[in-house]
Chain A
């Protein structure tokens, strides 16, 4: 059931976003140290002290650990949502709008661990968090990452699309990441490079899968009124949706046309004041390339199976074989480089880039005069999330 009710519309703002940048290797730092660095930076941007924070929201480290680490004297609300980061936005915005707290420090530590890279096991400090109670998964499971590969096989089978459709996502991300000093992967990538890359989980290759990184992002989320008195331009949260369907297991989802993304899009259109003709920047989650293609289709830029052709029609090619998506020659997609090239941030990077674009802080990749953004975070099953943002 989808409701258009949205009383929090434009009442809560993201006042600032900060990042540490991302490293594609096991650094000699803890996850907490990246979270601390990002949190200190975002507080500094706002001219806030730890005592000004009364809400905390993040996954790892836990909110109590982060409160203790940063010496935040008192909070009246906290939450430790599951990834991806749209869950954190939904929780924090709701908490501020309802009055559970006024100033939320929301954080995400992207960190190389065994669930996203086996090479994390080479670092003894990372082994402790290696596997949960379920132990090492069996190869025959399509839960988690393998599920997206399985649905990529279905996507290719149903629509007969070439691998280049997926490759465009990787090339777009890498070309954009070259203009992002915080991105993990900044060497040029061409379609030939993509097609020559080794398979990891066929039909997906090395460049179809996000890169495990060390780094962190942090955000200040507060009332629109409070944000108006802080140093940076407030970014208003117009609508948030966490869409999900009943058959949300990776192997039981009915089809590519019936999963969380369709619910997210339908509800976001009902709740939001603007849609794709009005946006200046699109963040389409790309933890796996096939997810971004499905977002383009489900958001309504094109029909199912046509995302590759849509990208071809909206491709800004460079002479050296790099290139990027520019929808109608105007709207970039994942200008920070996305999960595939900035690094696997589970959506915090997509949100931070949208905030920076709307605040005019996106450096060499700034979209001139950007006022509205659509942020589509997460995949198909229990993690399809949408946020519309606008500059105040």
Chain B
């Protein structure tokens, strides 16, 4: 799309992700426009945290900033919605998968989204995933795609 974060005003950002964006999460959502998954990380102690906070929960440093993660990880929890809120591209006639993924960057650092490109029977706790992107409401949305076969590192 060629969109960069500088192209988008706060007003436009909030309208692209209705109800989702506040001051502390704006950098994460600007990252989405570049198809980068950004998670807050402390510049002093290096600890990642989610959701985005204005200070580091580990050392209370103010020097936190949204940094890219690979999006690779392991499925920690998995739900299949037989009904749910209306959303573009979501049809509950096939139960809609929602997973919480343990990201490789740090134990217990997690991100939740759906899984694309796999039958529900394959979407299991312990399976490895990688990041992919789809578009909803004209804005990029991070999703997961299964890789490999065997889970590693499931807590």
Contacts and interface: CB of A to CB of B under 8 A. Distances in A.
Interface of A: 118, 133-142, 146, 149-151, 153-154, 157, 198-203, 246-247, 249, 251-252, 254-255
Nearest to A137: B85
Interface in B2-55: 18-20, 50-51
Interface of B: 18-20, 50-51, 57, 76-87, 90, 95-96, 98, 100, 108-114, 125-126, 136, 141, 143, 155
A55 B79 CA distance: 43
A198 B108 CA distance: 32
Contacts of A203: 79-80
B112 A141 contact: yes
Contacts, number: 92
B85 A133 contact: no
B112 A251 contact: yes
B50 A252 contact: yes
Contact of A255 (B78, B100, B155): B155
A246 B108 contact: no
A352 B50 CA distance: 38
Chain A residues touching B, majority SS = loop
Contacts of A140: 98, 112-114, 141, 143
A154 B76 contact: yes
B98 A139 contact: yes
B36 to A, nearest CB: 18
A119 B106 CA distance: 41
Given A154-B77, A154-B125, A200-B83, A142 B108 contact: no
Given A150-B100, A201-B80, A202-B79, A138 B87 contact: yes
Given A142-B100, A199-B80, A201-B80, A136 B108 contact: no
A142 B81 CA distance: 11
7 contacts: A138-B87, A150-B79, A154-B125, A201-B79, A203-B80, A251-B100, A251-B112
B84 to A, nearest CB: 5
Contacts of A202: 79-82, 95
Contacts of B57: 246
A154 B79 CA distance: 10
Contacts of B95: 199, 202
B60 to A, nearest CB: 12
A151 B155 CA distance: 13
8 shortest interchain CB distances as A-B pairs:
A135-B19, A202-B80, A150-B77, A134-B19, A157-B125, A251-B100, A139-B84, A140-B113
